[in-house]
Amino acid sequence: MNKYLEQLVELSKFDKQIDEFTPRIENVEKAYKAIQDECNELSEKIGELEDEMNELRSQKSGTNAHIAEFSAKIKEVAKKSGSAKSEKEVKALSLEEDIAKEQLEAANEEIARLEKLIDNKNSQKDELGAKKSELETNLSKIESEISSQLEAIEKERAEVYAKKEKLVGQMNQKILTFYEKIRKWAHNTAVVPVKKQACYGCFMQINDKTFSAVVRGEDIITCPHCGRILFKEKVEA
């Protein structure tokens, strides 16, 4: 294999490694973001529960005001009953008292219902709050772990970049431009091996003449079907 072809094979490997760093970084950041999103989601749910409890407390306050009104009404009717002068007036006051007592009973039942709802939602809030607190406690630890992972990936990427830059500096610029032109559309398959007399970029069979030229490795040969640069992998002893 000639020098220029060896350089192209090595360069394509560096480019492939470099391109693989992006999804690796994204996966690490995605894992951290998932935990952050869960914390934010819990905060939203806790906020919603607080709003719902405030609404229920407002309803409870209004019902308590009605209870005070009904209690005052019962006392007022009782006072009037003591000074009633006719049976008709007594019956009217008695009916008024019964209605006020029914309203008071219904209001007390409503208070009990609202308190039960508030307690239930408060329990949900406490449960979510405990879960959120646990996540936040672990978040700093996870953040440190993720930071270490990203640092290791960045270090590895910098090393590959340095190797690539050194290689590019030694390459023929015309050949480099030719490679970059193919890479624009072929991406990480700009330089591919030939296996079983087929291009491993488009997987089409190549003719004997082209295959022989690839095996010799004396020139830079491209696939007659797709235009990728071809090479024959060395067989390990």
Regarding whether 217 and 103 lie in a shared domain, the answer is no
Regarding whether 99 and 51 lie in a shared domain, the answer is yes
Between CA 132 and CA 126 the distance in angstroms is 10
Regarding whether 213 and 132 lie in a shared domain, the answer is no
pLDDT in tens, 161-195: 999 999 999 999 999 999 999 999 999 999 999 99
Regarding whether 77 and 112 lie in a shared domain, the answer is yes
Regarding whether 145 and 53 lie in a shared domain, the answer is yes
Closest CA to 94 of 109, 108, 82: 82
User: Which residues, given as ranges, of the chain have pLDDT below 70?
Assistant: 235-237
pLDDT of residue 235: 60
Regarding whether 190 and 137 lie in a shared domain, the answer is no
Q: Is 16 a domain residue?
A: no
Query: Number of C-alpha atoms within 13 angstroms, CB side, residue 148?
Result: 5
CATH number, domain with residue 149? 1.10.287.1490
For the chain, the helix, strand and coil percentages under 3-state DSSP, each to the nearest 5: 80, 5, 15
Amino acid residing at 177: T
Between CA 190 and CA 16 the distance in angstroms is 10
> Range of 198's domain?
176-231
